[in-house]
A and B are shown apart, each in its own frame.
Chain A
Amino acid sequence: AQSVTQLGSHVSVSEGALVLLRCNYSSSVPPYLFWYVQYPNQGLQLLLKYTTGATLVKGINGFEAEFKKSETSFHLTKPSAHMSDAAEYFCAVSPGPNDYKLSFGAGTTVTVRA
């Protein structure tokens, strides 16, 4: 079984500051890991994913995440926050190829201060 823990339900950052969202997972098999973003009244948009290979993954809108197996973590970062980054972010895990069941974390709401 897979599960995801996101540390911090709310994060507030200043425009131009580092954004760091924490995600830890548990999985009985090598997992596939994802970060999604959700804007109000919209569906989920994929920011980035880790399946195999390079552990530092770059995504859209300047986000990146690093898969650390020893720490069972997949933290999301962006060097410089923009007002448009204000949204809710979800970390998710799936068991692997051909199993599309996603288990989501509780989400982290990001507020960006001018």
Chain B
Amino acid sequence: KAGVTQTPRYLIKTRGQQVTLSCSPISGHRSVSWYQQTPGQGLQFLFEYFSETQRNKGNFPGRFSGRQFSNSRSEMNVSTLELGDSALYLCASSLEVEQFFGPGTRLTVL
């Protein structure tokens, strides 16, 4: 079975721009979660989608949003980028308890 895929792997943006990251879960997995990883704050939960509905949300500003499509693929969007948004963004898909992580998208904001 193919693993979780994330595109793009690397991204460079400037302050004020917006960005969209994509995640394709493992076939059959209906839950997709997003995490932000930074050296200062570590791994933080952004949100989780299940069957196209946001089921859980972390403590991030409204500039961070996401959605899930009927095929379980998910996207997250960050608007009005700030320097502090530079991070590794990880997507994870789940069937039951276990979460399977993708390789991440490295976002650099200049």
B-binding residues in A (CB < 8 A): 32, 36, 41-46, 49, 51, 90, 92, 94, 97, 99-107
A16–B30 Cα distance when bound, in Å, is: 41
- B26 part of interface (Cβ distance < 8 Å): no
Q: Which residues of A contact B56 (CB under 8 A)?
A: 99-101
| Structural contact, A43 and B90, CB atoms closer than 8 A | yes
CB closest chain-A residue, reference B57: A101
| Structural contact, A97 and B97, CB atoms closer than 8 A | yes
In chain B between 1 and 53, which residues have their CB closer than 8 angstroms to a CB of chain A? 4, 31, 33, 35, 42-45, 48
| Structural contact, A32 and B45, CB atoms closer than 8 A | no
| Structural contact, B33 and A44, CB atoms closer than 8 A | no
Majority-rule SS of B interface residues: strand
CB of B9 to closest CB in A, whole Å: 9
A104–B36 Cα distance when bound, in Å, is: 11
Q: Which residues of A contact B104 (CB under 8 A)?
A: 42-43
Q: What would be 22 A-B contacts, judged by CB atoms less than 8 Å apart?
A: A36-B101, A41-B103, A42-B103, A42-B104, A43-B4, A43-B90, A43-B101, A44-B92, A46-B98, A46-B99, A46-B100, A92-B43, A97-B96, A97-B97, A99-B56, A100-B94, A101-B45, A101-B48, A102-B43, A103-B45, A104-B42, A106-B42
| Structural contact, B43 and A100, CB atoms closer than 8 A | no
CB 8 Å contact bits of B85-110 with A (1 = contact, 0 = none): 00000101010111111111000000
Number of interface residues of B (CB under 8 A): 23
Among A43, A49, A103, the residue within 8 A (CB) of B98 is A49
Which 9 pairs from chain A and chain B are nearest by CB? A43-B101, A104-B43, A44-B101, A43-B103, A101-B56, A101-B45, A106-B42, A100-B94, A43-B102
| Structural contact, A101 and B97, CB atoms closer than 8 A | no
Q: Which residues of A contact B35 (CB under 8 A)?
A: 102
CB closest chain-A residue, reference B42: A106
| Structural contact, A102 and B99, CB atoms closer than 8 A | yes
A31–B56 Cα distance when bound, in Å, is: 17
Q: Which residues of B contact A97 (CB under 8 A)?
A: 96-97
Q: Which residues of A contact B44 (CB under 8 A)?
A: 104
